[in-house]
Amino acid sequence: MKHPAPKPKRRSADPAAELADTITQHLGDRVRQLRAERGWSLQVLASASGVSRSMLSQIEREQANPTLAVTLRIAHAFGMTLGDLVQVPDASSAITVIRANDRAYHFRSDKHCRIRTLSPLNLEKDVEFYEVQLQPGGALRSAPHFQGTREFLTVEKGQVRVESGRDAEVLHPGDSVSYRADVPHAIINAGSKEAVLFLVDIYTSAARPRS
């Protein structure tokens, strides 16, 4: 009796193809997240990148595998490098680096105030970390945050006045302060030179901002 020929062994998946699929999925999530964080519509991103609205929609829905040139245009629209945009979490390193010149992390930048985010943008978190630079006369005034939110601040350079509700304190280099941020609050450059400070927002689990 003739035995049937053995079935050929199933070849393992191509690692390069698997990585490409992972990057495509990550890119869709990443573009959608970055757009939401900036409050951009698909049309705004299309205008900024030169990539059609329909293509961007397909990328976000993981229905398109964009070319390198298209991906690069999207990265530039967000002020990012190509590597930062397509990097898959945990694919290469457990270390996340935020470069000083990465404009994707510049939360605000004008002649009076610059705020740079020092915590990763893509994490569900109860803590947010910022570097704030205030020019003479500059101020960062904020409406009440979520109930229970507190801010912690350390002055690196200059003189700063912190206001929380009806309370106020003046801080100098090396001074730290914590205060309620669920009431109107402000950080004001109280000196004649640039002030640099590090700011941490801490939310309770119930007050965590929704993405």
What is the per-residue pLDDT across 81-121, written as a single tens digit (0 to 9) for each? Answer: 877 787 665 555 567 778 888 777 888 888 899 999 888 76
Tokens for 80? 């990012």
Give the DSSP letter string of 148-185: T-EEEEEEEES-EEEEETTEEEEE-TT-EEEEE-SS-E
Residue showing tokens 């020929």: 5
pLDDT of 210 over the 70 cut: no
- For CATH 1.10.260.40, the residue range(s) in the chain are 15-86
Superfamily for 103-207? Jelly Rolls (2.60.120.10)
Topology at the third CATH level for domain 15-86: 434 Repressor (Amino-terminal Domain) (1.10.260)
What is the per-residue pLDDT across 149-187, written as a single tens digit (0 to 9) for each? Answer: 999 999 999 999 999 999 999 999 999 999 999 999 999
Q: What is the value of pTM for the model shown?
A: 0.55
- For CATH 2.60.120.10, the residue range(s) in the chain are 103-207
